[in-house]
Homo-oligomer: A and B are copies of this chain.
Amino acid sequence: MTPEERFASLGLTLPPSPDPLGVYKLLLVEGDYAYVSGHGTLKEDSTWIVGKVGDDLSLDEGKAAAQQVGLAILATLKKYLGSLDNVDHVVKLLGMVNCVPNFTRHPYVINGCSELFAKVWGEDKGVGVRSAVGMSSLPEGIPVEIEAIFKLK
């Protein structure tokens, strides 16, 4: 199956492709790589999932929020690259969790995005390097922001 076919088989719905919240591009192709801006928890109805993980949101709500960020990134990839099939593999994610100061489960939360990408591009090509860290705040009060680099075909 292709990445597009694998995504279709998941039964998930993409949010609208996000607009920038400031003076930046959502995606920039440099040579064989696509650099992707920090994306947030954009929902199908164009609102955001908001809240702090460990306070407003539970651990699993945080993980679901990270999956939603992954879906927003997929929407951007489809808009700017035409198809998920034009991505060869995930190079790198920086996963940032808006959470309480004693939070310790950032990797579990960001897995919400990483597991989605592993389903789309496979266990090898869908998984790159990653950092998962805790922020004191994020734009619009979103619980997760993720930036990414992808290798193109």
Contacts and interface: CB of A to CB of B under 8 A. Distances in A.
Given A22-B130, A23-B114, A129-B147, A104 B141 contact: yes
A123 to B, nearest CB: 9
Contacts of A104: 137-141
Contacts of A103: 137
A152 B129 CA distance: 17
- For chain A, the bracket of interface size reads 35 or more
A34 B62 CA distance: 30
Stoichiometry (number of copies):
3
A114 B105 CA distance: 27
A49 interface: no
A86 interface: no
Given A22-B111, A135-B135, A28 B129 contact: yes
Interface string A78-120: 0000000000000111101011111111111011001100100
A36 to B, nearest CB: 6
25 contacts: A21-B107, A21-B132, A22-B107, A22-B108, A22-B110, A22-B114, A25-B129, A28-B92, A30-B91, A35-B92, A35-B128, A37-B130, A38-B133, A52-B101, A94-B131, A96-B133, A98-B134, A101-B136, A104-B138, A106-B137, A106-B138, A106-B139, A131-B145, A134-B135, A134-B138
Interface of A: 20-28, 30, 33, 35-38, 52, 91-94, 96, 98-108, 110-111, 114-115, 118, 127-141, 145, 147, 151
